[in-house]
Each structure stands twice: as C-alpha cells, then as structure tokens.
Amino acid sequence: MRRSMLGRLAVAACSLSLLTAFAPATSGADGGDSERGGAGGSYRKVGYFTQWGVYGRDFQVQDLEANGSAGKLTHVNYAFGNVSADGKCFTGNVPGEADAWADYVRPLDAANSVDGVADTWEQPLAGNFNQLRELKARHPGLKVMISLGGWSWSTHFSDAALTPASRKAFVASCIDLYIKGNLPQDGTRGGAGAAAGVFDGIDLDWEWPGSAGDTDTKYRPEDKRNFTELVKEFRTQLDAYARSQKRKTKYELSAFVPTAPAKIDAGFDVRRIMRDLDFVTLQGYDFHVSGESTTAQQSALYARDDFSVHGTVDAWKRRGAPARKLVVGLPFYGQGWTGVSGGGDGMGQPATGPAPATWAAGYEDYKALKKLADSGSFQVHRDRRGGHAWLFDGTTLWTYDDPQVLRAKTRYVRENGLGGAMIWSLDADTSDGELMTAVDRGLRGH
C-alpha cells in the first residue's frame, strides 16, 4: 500500500518511509460479498489516498471527484493509521507519527470540499475524514477502509499481536477510533462518534510479519501464528459490532501482502488467514527499486527468474489463496536511475544512482513521467512478452506502468478470475484520471 521491500527496497509503496522524509464495477457498485471477481463478475477497484498528499502535492479528496476517479472506485484505502508502543490504534499531532490536523481538524474551503460548502469551526469533523464522508454521500456504494501500518508505521505490530490479551485490546482500540469514530477531542473537533460511518472496514498493512526489514519494525518467529490470530480477532470483533448495530453489510477486512515467497512463508498462514479476510491486495510493484546499482523492471506482469505479478499471484494461489480474493497491486508511479551506461535500451545496465525527481530521488508520479514521455526527449520501450514499460533518454531510465501496460494487467485479472486491482497511489494520476480510467475500462473488458 503500500510499498514493501524485496531485499534492499529503499522505497516502499504503501509506506511513509520515502515520502515522509519530505514532508469492481460501476459507480455505486456494492463492495461487499457480491464483489468476488471472476468471469462475468464485478471487481474490486481499491485506491490508496495518502494522508500527506494534501500538503506538497495538494491532492485533496475533492480531486477524486474532479478527475472522475471516485465513480470508478469501489474502495478508498486511507493511508495510514499508526500503532502505538503500547499496542493501540491512535491519532494526534505527533510529527512523523500521527497527523490529526490532516485527518479531521483541518478546515476545507468551498473550492476544496466535495460538497462545495466550506467547513466551519463548530463542526466536530473536518479534514480528510469529513471529505471522505462527503464523497461517500455522492457515491453510496463506495467503501472507505482505514489502512493500518505501512512500511514506516508497522513498528509495533508484533508487540500488539503478541498475546491474546494484547490482540483483543489492539483490535478494540482500532474499532473504537475508526469504526465507532470516537476521536480525541481537538478543540471543537473530535469527540464521541465524530467519525462514525466514515470507515467501512480495516486494511492491515503490517510489513512484514516474521521478516526483518530496513526500518525499526519489530519481528519475531511467532509473528506468523500471531498474525493469523490477529486477523481472526479483527474478524470476530468487526462482525460482533456489525451485529450490535444491525448493520446490513459486514465491515470488510483486508491485508496488503508481499511478493517474495520467503516473506510469505515467514509471516502468512495463507489458508487460515484467507478464511477471515475478504480479500488481500498483492504487492505488484517495487520488484526492483532505484536504490539498486543496476536498472531493472519494477512491476512486470511476467518475468523469467525474477519477481512478477504472475509469480506473485501464483505463489499465493499455490499456498491456498482463492483467486477471487486476490487483488493485484498496480503502481501509479515509477522507479528511476540516472548515470545509466552500457548502451542499448538501458534496461539491465549499471547506473550511478537514483534519478532526480520531484519529491524524492528515484521515485516519480505517473503524471510527471507522462510529461517526459510526451516531451520527446525520452523514448518509450516495451517488453511486450513481459508486460512492462520504461522510459530512457540515454542516461536516465524510469520503469513504470502506462495505460497500455494497465490494459494488459487488467486483462490478466479478468482471464484468471482474480478479485480486482489496487492502486498505489491515487495522487500520482493525471488531473483527468488517465490511469484510473484505464483500470476501470480494462476491468470492464473495454
């Protein structure tokens, strides 16, 4: 969500590590049990909205309405919610740890509001949460999930999942904060039930149980068992709360999961967790990253003796995951290198380092890469058999997904009876939602 790491993945897609260093079907489709994917079925279209994107990128919830993406999505995953050292979901204004200002305190003017009405200081809910509520009012079938963790905020997951008591308390705190909407009081904002009805479920973004990483995330050999029990505890408590509210549809539960077989086996009892999860979103990117010394594909559909989308799907299916619950992750960004030598089309050649970019070296939004492609200074190259593309100007190379690649990937989803597509992240698309349109049309078979 959600970017993970394979070996030395210094850039992580569903995560904050890179970015915080700087600051299926029709509109209104039911996103519940009816969305199982497969031939003739509808598909989940899950897009990540980043909390921090409202600042430098100036990408507001209202932009999902303006660029047409809101009507094409079935789920919006809000990235991210954090886990405290004592194993609880929390929010507040803690630099690098929580941003209540963006979440529910910050007032939006009329121009940046989904409903075209400016926020007042008296209302208990403002910020992104209120805008998501307004977006759901426009699109009654749209579901919003709170995504917990990410690459930077998975630090305390292992502790939170360690014992039956810690799991029960952790889950209860997340349901209280996000599902019941009991937000901390922040001036006139927040209070009991202030965010009730905003979130329709929880996405677990623990990166990764049982595996060491490049951050301070704790891990233990028993994480695999404990993650299984944590998923079960979330399912139990979410279902119980739904029954207590006489809710017509259940609260959904999903997880972001890795590509690398070693990480799957270290942290995921696939058959057991899939019983309680409505779906999983598969890492479909960051197979290689700009921190590596040689250029390589980051999101190929097929690859011999390398990571790929097909390899990821196959790894999860062979371990017992139902195809209909597998949602393929798609990058709306690229990984880039500069100082590329060796000639040819630049792929598989040595490089001197990450390419200069707008927000962080080696990572660039699709909307910026499209401008490079359109400028004529970069040539678009394609591996049609592998199903991936890259830009190269003789010195700098960017590996990325464009509409043509996304058409191939969505066709793969349809032909293999998978559950849909996930996007990291929505703020990287063009102002007219070019990539989201390609995903939507592709899943419709257009």
Give the whole-angstrom CA distance, residue 351 versus residue 30. Answer: 47
Q: Which residue has the tokens 């594909």?
A: 297
Classified as helix, coil or strand, 32 is: coil
Contacts of 247 (CB under 8 A, 6+ apart): none
Total residues found in the chain within this entry: 446
Among this protein's residues, is 434 annotated catalytic? no
Half-sphere exposure of 214 (CA within 13 A, CB side): 16
Show the DSSP H helices in 91-211 as ranges.
100, 127-138, 157-160, 164-174
The backbone torsions φ and ψ at residue 81, rounded to the nearest 5 degrees and listed phi first, read -105, 145
* The one catalytic residue among 207, 252, 292, 364: 207
Alpha-carbon distance of 273 to 271, in angstroms, equals 6
DSSP string, 409-432: HHHHHHHTT--EEEEE-GGGS-TT
Judge whether 238 and 202 are in contact, CB under 8 Å. yes
CA-only gyration radius of the chain, Å: 20
420 close to 443: Cβ distance less than 8 angstroms: yes
Residues 6 or more apart in contact with residue 188 via CB below 8 angstroms: 121, 122, 123, 124
How far is CA 207 from its chain centroid? 12
Residues annotated as catalytic (active site), given as ranges:
207
